[in-house]
Structure 1
Amino acid sequence: MDFQTVVSAIRRRWWVLAITALIGIFVGNLVSTHEVREYTATTRLFVAATGGGNSSSEAYSGGQFSEQRVQSYAQMISGQQLTRRVIDRLHLQLSADELSSRVNAAIVPRTVLLDLSATDPSPERATAIANALADEFIQYAGPLETPVGESTPRATITVVNRAQIPSTPSSPNVVANAVYGCIGGLMIGLLCLALIPVISRRINSAEELGRLTGATTAGPLLVPDPDASPQHNLFDTSCSEESEGLRRLRVQLDAHDPAPQVLLVTPATAGRAAVALGGRIAAAFAETGRSTALLTADSSLDATWFGVAGDSPGLTDLLSGSAGFDDVLHSTVRPQLSVVTHGGSDAIEALLSSAAMSAFVDDLRKEFDRVVIVTGSVNDSSAASVLSAVVDAGLLVVDTSRSHRGDVTRAIGEFTAARAHLLAVVMAKVKAPEHPQKTSKAFR
C-alpha cells in the first residue's frame, strides 16, 4: 500500500481513527482509575568536602571529591543495611528488599546535590521514609568517611530540603496514560485502515478498480434506483452534478476513435446499476439531438421503468417472429430516445445468437445514431458474451454496493474469452434521486 492509498483511506474512513483514539483514551483513563495511587516525597542532601584551603586549585579539588562522593552515595542508598535501619526506626511492616524497591537516589546534574525519594500509597508514610532515610544515611556515612585515628570525616552531608507531605499522587499519571492510550488507539486505527483493503473484498476507488482490471476506469457515478424512480428520473439529464458526470462519460465515448455506435452496458453482478446507467447514457446521447435507441436484453428489467406497458411487444417477440421492427420501438419522455423492452418471453439467451438478432442490430444501426444495449450480469448470463459479437464496444458496470473483487475479475475473464472490446469499467452507485451526492470525475 503506497502513501497515496493510505492518505485516501484516512480521508475516507477518518472516523475509524477518531473511534480508536477515543477508545484508547478511555482505556488509559480506566487504567488510571484502577491503578493504586502512590505518592512520592523527596529530601535533598548537600555533599561537601571537609577542610581544604582557600586557593582555587584546592576548591576545585574539593568540588571533584564531592562529585565523586555523590555518585558513590547514590549507589549506597538502596542498600539493605540502610533500609533495615529505616524499617527499625519507623516500625514498618516491610522487608528490606521491599523498602529498597520504594526508595531512589538521583544526582542533580552538574551539582553535589543528592535527591532521596520514597514512594508509598500513604503520603505521610512516604514523607516519613524519605526523611528517615536521609537521617539514617548521614549517620551511616559519617563513620565511613572518617579515617582511622581521626575524628573529622572527609565529607559532610547536610539536609538542604526536608521532604514535605505531597498533595498530589505521582502515580498514576492520568494525563500520560490518556496520551499513551490515544497514541495506541491511533496506531491500532492506522493498522485497521491498512488491513481493511486487504481483508475487504469490495472495491473502494476507481484507482483500485484500474489496478485490478488493467482497463480504463470511469466514475464513480450516481444513478437513480429504477424501483424508486419514475421514467422521467431514469432518463433525466437536467443540470446536476450527477448528470455532469454522465456528460463527461458521453464526451469520452464520442472522443473514442472510432466512436462506438452500438454500445453494450453490462454489470459485473446482478442489480439495477447497469439499467440505470444505460438509461442515463442513452438520454445523454439523445439530449444532443442524436436519435438513440435503448435495448434491454434482461428479463429482470420491468418495462414500466421505461414508461412502456408490461404487455407491449419487445425484443423476444421480434426475435420469435411475432412482432415487427416498428412494433417493438416505444417512445419515451425524451423526444430523440426510443426503447426496446425485453418482451413477453423469458427464454432470450438462445434467441440472441440468432440471425434475427444480428439483422435487428443492423436495422437499428441504420435507423439510429446511437444504440445502447443493456444486459444482465456477465457472470450470470451469456447475453453479454453473445452480444459482444454484434456491438462496437462494451462498458462493464461495477456496483460499489454489490460487486466484489472476484466478481470483477471473473467478468473481465468473460470479456477476454469472448474477445469483446471493453471500452471502460464504470463504477456506479445506485441511489434514489431525492438524495443526490457529489459525482467525481468520469474517465481516469
Structure 2
Amino acid sequence: MRAGALLDLKDVLQAVRSGWWLLVTGVLVGLALAGTLSWLATPLYSSSTRLVVAVAGAPDTSAAYQGNLFSQQRINTYTPLLTGKSLAGEVIDELDLDLSPAQVAGKVSARVLPDSTMIEVTVTDTSAARAQAIAAELGRRFSDRVTELEEDVTAVRVTTVEEPEVNENPVSPGVNRNLALGAVLGLLVGLGLALLRSRLDNTVKTADDVQTLSGAGVIGTVLEDPKLDDQHVVTSRDGHSLSSESFRAIRTNLQFLNVDNPPKVIVVTSSVPGEGKSTLAVNLATALAQSGSRVILVEADLRRPRVTRYMGLVGGAGLSNVLAGTADLSEVAQPWGDGKLSVLAAGPMPPNPSELLGSEHMRSLLQVLRDEHDFVIVDTPPLLPVTDAAVLSVAADGCLITTRHGATRRDQLAEAANVLARIDAKLLGVVLNRVPQSAAIARGYGYGYGYAADPGRVPVAEPKRERGRRIGRRRHAPLDPATTTEPPGAGGMSS
C-alpha cells in the first residue's frame, strides 16, 4: 500500500490476508482482558419491585377513568422521589445501613412503564439480601410519602403489585457479554494494526510497486520453496514443481520480449545481497538449455561466487584467469548436463574486480560468447553495494533484477533502477522472488492452480549429467581461500 493512498477494499483484504495473525492475536488478547476484568470485578446483584399508583374509591366508570388520567399525570412527579436522598435517608434509618443517603440513592433506578401507572423500581448492590431489603423498604416509604402529599387533594394510593426477591444471580459482570465485547474490540484493534502495518510497509510486494519504482514490468515470479535452500537447480531435479514452472515462465517471457531480436547477453543481478540472484541465474540458464539453446553461464560475481557451488562444479580456474590471460576459455569452460549448458567459473579473487569486469578484455570475451552461444547468462554482484553489475550491464543486451517479495525495500529497488538508467543500461524486467503462495500476486500469476500429470504417467529419465572437468588446477595458482570457504549464513537464497 502506498503512503498517502486512499484505502480501498482490495487494500483492506490484502492487509487482512498478510496480517491475519494480528487479528487472531487481537481477538485472543481481547478475550483474555475481558475474562480477567470480569473475574476481578465485584459481583453486583439486583432486586426489583413494581408499584401501581391509583385513585381510590371511584364510584363509577367515568370516575375511574378520570382517576386513571390523574394518576398518569402525577406519576412522573412521583418517580424522582424514589431516587432522591430524602427517602434514602429514611431507608437507612429503618434498616440501620452504614451508607450515606447519596450512596443509597445511587443504587436505585426507577422508570414508568409505558401507557400505565406502574413504576418499576430496581436496586443494585453488592449484596443480594441488602438489595432486596432496600427495594422493599423503599416501596413502603414511597407509598407513605405519596399518601402524605396527596391527602388534601384526592385519595391516591400506591400498591405494591410485585414484591422484591433475593436474586443470587449477579447482574454484573456479564461474563458472556464482556467476552463478546472483548473479542469484537480485539478484532477491531487487530484490523487497525494490520492496516497500519500494511500502510507503513515500504517493501516491494506487487506488480504495481515494481512498475512504479523501476519503470519495468514483472517478468516473472518465483514462489517460496524450501527446496531451494538445499537444491538450487530445481529446473533439472524437479521439473514438474511450481518453482520449475516459474523459471520456465521467465525463460519464455525473456524470449518474447523482442521476438525479432531477443536479448542474448543477459546480466542477472539484484539490489542488495540475499535476494536470490544466483539461484535465478542457474535456473534460468538450465531452463534455456532445456529448450535446446546453447547457453553459457558466466559466474561474474568474483567476490562471492555461488554458481559453481550450487551446480556442483569445480571452482578453480575461471573468468579471472581468462581476463588475466593465464587461461584459455576452452580450458576452463565446464560442460553441464547434456552439453547444451556450459559454465564459466569465477576463478581466483582478483584485487580489482570492478576494473577487471569493465575492461576491454571483458567486452571482447562477451562478444566471443555471444557469437558461440544462443544465450549468455551473467551472474553478477548486487547493484547497490558495488559497481560490477553496472559496468557489465552496459556491455550486455539487458539486465534482469531479482527482488525479494516483502524484504526488498522500495527505495532499494528504485535506486537500483536509477543506477541502470544513469548509465543507459537496459532493464529487461524484474523477477519477484520468494513470493508466498498466499500473496495476491501469486494467485494473479496462476500459481494457486495445480496441473499434475495423470496417475501412472512416468517421466522419461533425464540424461546423466557430467561432472565438470578439472582443468587448470595444475597450471594455475591454487584457489584463493576466499573462493572456497563458505561465509556464515550463505546458504539458501542468500545470493
Report the secondary structure of 1:388's partner residue.
Answer: helix
Distance in 1 separating the partners of 2:445 and 2:264: 20
Residue type matched to 1:321 in 2? G
Distance in 2 separating the partners of 1:175 and 1:205: 42
Equivalent in the alignment of 2:221: 219
**1:175/1:227 CA distance change after superposition, 3 Å:** closer
Equivalent in the alignment of 2:230: 228
**1:270/1:73 CA distance change after superposition, 3 Å:** same
Instruction: Verify: 1:111 aligned to 2:116, yes or no.
Output: yes
Report the secondary structure of 1:343's partner residue.
Answer: coil
Report the secondary structure of 1:37's partner residue.
Answer: coil
Distance in 2 separating the partners of 1:138 and 1:26: 47
- Offset at residue 352 of structure 1 (A): 1.7
Within-5 A mapping of 1:110-189: 110-147=115-152, 152-153=154-155, 155-189=156-190
After superposition, what is the alpha-carbon deviation per residue over 1:85-140, rounded to whole angstroms, capped at 9, x for unaligned? Answer: 11111111111111111111022223222111111111000000011111100001
After superposition, what is the alpha-carbon deviation per residue over 1:296-353, rounded to whole angstroms, capped at 9, x for unaligned? Answer: 2102114332332121x31111111222232232111243211112112333210222
Distance in 2 separating the partners of 1:301 and 1:439: 30
Equivalent in the alignment of 1:7: 13
After superposition, what is the alpha-carbon deviation per residue over 1:376-427, rounded to whole angstroms, capped at 9, x for unaligned? Answer: 1100121111112122222111124753333223212212222222122222
Of 314, 323, 326, the residue aligned with 1:309 is 314
- Which has the larger displacement, 264-273 or 18-27? 264-273
Distance in 2 separating the partners of 1:272 and 1:398: 6
Equivalent in the alignment of 1:255: 256
Equivalent in the alignment of 1:46: 52
Equivalent in the alignment of 2:468: none
Equivalent in the alignment of 1:295: 298
Distance in 2 separating the partners of 1:342 and 1:234: 22
Distance in 2 separating the partners of 1:223 and 1:314: 31
Report the secondary structure of 2:394's partner residue.
Answer: coil
**1:59/1:265 CA distance change after superposition, 3 Å:** farther
**1:224/1:284 CA distance change after superposition, 3 Å:** farther
8 A Cα contact 1:102 1:119, kept in partner: yes
Within-5 A mapping of 1:36-435: 36-52=42-58, 54-55=60-61, 61-147=66-152, 152-153=154-155, 155-217=156-218, 218-222=220-224, 228-229=230-231, 233=234, 235-236=236-237, 238-257=239-258, 258-271=261-274, 273-299=276-302, 300-302=304-306, 303-311=308-316, 313-346=317-350, 347-400=352-405, 402-429=407-434
Distance in 2 separating the partners of 1:72 and 1:211: 72
Distance in 1 separating the partners of 2:106 and 2:311: 83
**1:111/1:343 CA distance change after superposition, 3 Å:** same
Distance in 1 separating the partners of 2:182 and 2:60: 57
8 A Cα contact 2:44 2:124, kept in partner: yes
**1:202/1:104 CA distance change after superposition, 3 Å:** same
Report the secondary structure of 1:243's partner residue.
Answer: helix
Report the secondary structure of 1:43's partner residue.
Answer: strand
Residue type matched to 1:115 in 2? E
Report the secondary structure of 2:400's partner residue.
Answer: strand
Unpaired runs of 5+ in structure 1?
432-437
**1:222/1:439 CA distance change after superposition, 3 Å:** farther
Distance in 2 separating the partners of 1:185 and 1:334: 59
Residue type matched to 2:345 in 1? T
Report the secondary structure of 1:189's partner residue.
Answer: helix
> Percent of aligned pairs with the same residue?
29
Equivalent in the alignment of 2:483: none
- Offset at residue 15 of structure 1 (A): 2.0
Residue type matched to 2:305 in 1? L
Residue type matched to 1:333 in 2? G
8 A Cα contact 2:357 2:388, kept in partner: yes
- Offset at residue 237 of structure 1 (A): 5.5
Distance in 2 separating the partners of 1:128 and 1:430: 69
Report the secondary structure of 1:398's partner residue.
Answer: strand
- Offset at residue 76 of structure 1 (A): 1.9
Report the secondary structure of 1:203's partner residue.
Answer: coil
8 A Cα contact 1:107 1:113, kept in partner: yes
Distance in 1 separating the partners of 2:59 and 2:212: 83
Report the secondary structure of 1:115's partner residue.
Answer: strand
8 A Cα contact 1:245 1:440, kept in partner: no
Report the secondary structure of 1:419's partner residue.
Answer: coil
Unpaired runs of 5+ in structure 2?
1-6, 448-495
Distance in 2 separating the partners of 1:117 and 1:145: 24
Distance in 2 separating the partners of 1:353 and 1:335: 29
Report the secondary structure of 1:94's partner residue.
Answer: coil
Instruction: Verify: 1:30 aligned to 2:32, yes or no.
Output: no
After superposition, what is the alpha-carbon deviation per residue over 1:210-239, rounded to whole angstroms, capped at 9, x for unaligned? Answer: 444443123243467777337x54754611
**1:195/1:37 CA distance change after superposition, 3 Å:** same
**1:326/1:424 CA distance change after superposition, 3 Å:** same
- Which has the larger displacement, 232-241 or 122-131? 232-241
Distance in 2 separating the partners of 1:254 and 1:68: 91
Distance in 2 separating the partners of 1:254 and 1:401: 28
8 A Cα contact 2:87 2:141, kept in partner: yes
Distance in 2 separating the partners of 1:205 and 1:366: 37
Residue type matched to 2:369 in 1? L
- Which has the larger displacement, 186-195 or 34-43? 186-195
- Which has the larger displacement, 384-393 or 343-352? 343-352
Distance in 2 separating the partners of 1:42 and 1:325: 100
Equivalent in the alignment of 1:20: 26
8 A Cα contact 1:41 1:130, kept in partner: yes
**1:430/1:326 CA distance change after superposition, 3 Å:** farther
Residue type matched to 1:277 in 2? L
8 A Cα contact 2:205 2:406, kept in partner: no
Residue type matched to 1:229 in 2? Q
Residue type matched to 1:17 in 2? L
**1:239/1:220 CA distance change after superposition, 3 Å:** closer
**1:84/1:443 CA distance change after superposition, 3 Å:** closer
